[in-house]
Amino acid sequence: GRLEAVTQQMGYHPQYLDSFLKTQHYLMHMDGPLPFDCRHYIAIMAAARHQCRYLVNLHVLQFLRAGGDPQWLRGLEFIPPKLRNLNEINKILAHRPWLITKEHIEKLLKISEWSWSLAELVHAVVLLAHCHALASFVFGCGCEQDEGLGGRGSLKPLSLGNQCFCEATASNSYGQELLRINRKRSLDSCMELDSLRERMQRIHVETEGRDEMRLLQQDREEGEGQGAGWVCRVGVSAGLSPLADTDGEVTGATNLACYMQDPDFGYQDFARRDEDQTQVFRVQDYSWEDHGFSLVNRLYSDIGHLLDEKFRMVDGLQSSAMAKRQGCEPSVFKRGIWNYIHCMFGIRYDDYDYAEVNQLLERMLKVYIKTVTCYPEKTNSEMFDRFWKQFKHSEKVHVNLLILEARMQAELLYALQAITQYMI
């Protein structure tokens, strides 16, 4: 259950967890414009931008379970051009969403053999934003360091005395049933590993031929003197899919570079002093409530309602302890965090005094929020432990939920505005 670490963390806020699970289930498993295997591959591409092995490993398994072609796991060079063309907006949305333009949208929608439909593109954009933001949450709460994934151990695992994620959703039949299904799937995946390994090896034999097998054998013999194991050629090329080593164990991702182009492209401060200021995104001109919601809901039925519920749910969570420390109302404190995150992506609210951000948010908290939001792969356990030691773990999880939702909405606003401009 690789998603289980995420649900355990979100279980501190059961109402939000239920809303998140409904959205996740709808995006990945319900009727929609995109095929199921493509959904998981898009999730792999999105998670790879932030080097999030946790999510990549999860969606690699689900991609194969959905009938996806294992050859695609060798990297972007082995996927259909239509899917590969999504790489550019994946890169931009993940790191500098303010750079996306209607020209990027037009390039994907233009009439050709590999063109996207509007509905398909909206589904893909929501998936990208969802997975980019979820990667922030994964790093922010320490799920990426989970011992089960070969990391350093989770930042703060649940103890027996804490509320378990399954208990947190016990009052909600939908969330409880979905968690039961997820646990069953995780058990099923354990039973599938042997057949999955055999499938990868069979494809290797079919595609590479006897000469390639002979070279592989030579490589293995040369490596034995150095204690090196071996994997099938598909795995060597990709360096990431679940593979068999010498002991027959399944290993996770080791190199995500094959899922990315231009890996050095990353976040830059929106308003750098040495450059001309980029056009600010003003919410009164294009907002989620007045524009984004209706567009996404029209092109991808019902997803707008699910996203809107999730945005409202995180806004309704109580953080009395965090707000009390700053001597303000919870709503004021949460808005400070939300607007600070949007500000880093160039989104401004004319009715907000941004001097409040420095008054409400301590320096260590601001450093943590910016790191998790803009380059989550740089987050570490020390950074998590240092910010607000005296606060409960649930309060820290709440901050990460605000980061997740604020970041996702920011990416969606830029992408949906570009789609709107194209349609006009």
DSSP assignments along 297-366, one per residue: HHHSTTHHHHHHHHHHHHHHS--HHHHHHHTS-HHHHHHHHHHHHHHHTTEE-TT--THHHHHHS-HHHH
Cβ–Cβ under 8 Å, residues 273 and 260: no
Cβ–Cβ under 8 Å, residues 256 and 53: yes
Rg for the chain, CA atoms, rounded: 22
Give me the residues paired with residue 250 across strands.
244
User: For residue 251, what is the DSSP state?
Assistant: E
Q: How far is CA 354 from CA 314, 320, 334, in A?
A: 21, 22, 13
Q: How far is CA 214 from CA 203, 211, 219, 222, 238, in A?
A: 16, 5, 9, 12, 20
* Distance of alpha carbon 139 from alpha carbon 372, whole angstroms: 7
Other beta carbons within 10 angstroms of residue 8's beta carbon come to 24
The answer to whether 232 is a known catalytic residue is: no
Q: Is residue 112 helix, strand or coil?
A: coil
129: which 2 tokens?
């934003």
The one catalytic residue in 52, 131, 141, 258 is: 52
Q: How many CA atoms lie within 13 A of 267 on its CB side?
A: 19
Q: Is residue 93 helix, strand or coil?
A: helix
* Distance of alpha carbon 423 from alpha carbon 419, whole angstroms: 6
Q: How far is CA 173 from CA 4, 31, 168, 180, 197, in A?
A: 18, 21, 11, 10, 36
* Distance of alpha carbon 140 from alpha carbon 379, whole angstroms: 7
With CA atoms as reference, report the closest residue to 137 among 397, 410, 412: 397
Q: How many CA atoms lie within 13 A of 228 on its CB side?
A: 14
| CA pseudo-torsion sign 362, 364, 369, 371 | positive
Give me the residues paired with residue 243 across strands.
251
Other beta carbons within 10 angstroms of residue 248's beta carbon come to 9
Cβ–Cβ under 8 Å, residues 98 and 346: yes
Q: What are the residue numbers of the active site? A: 52
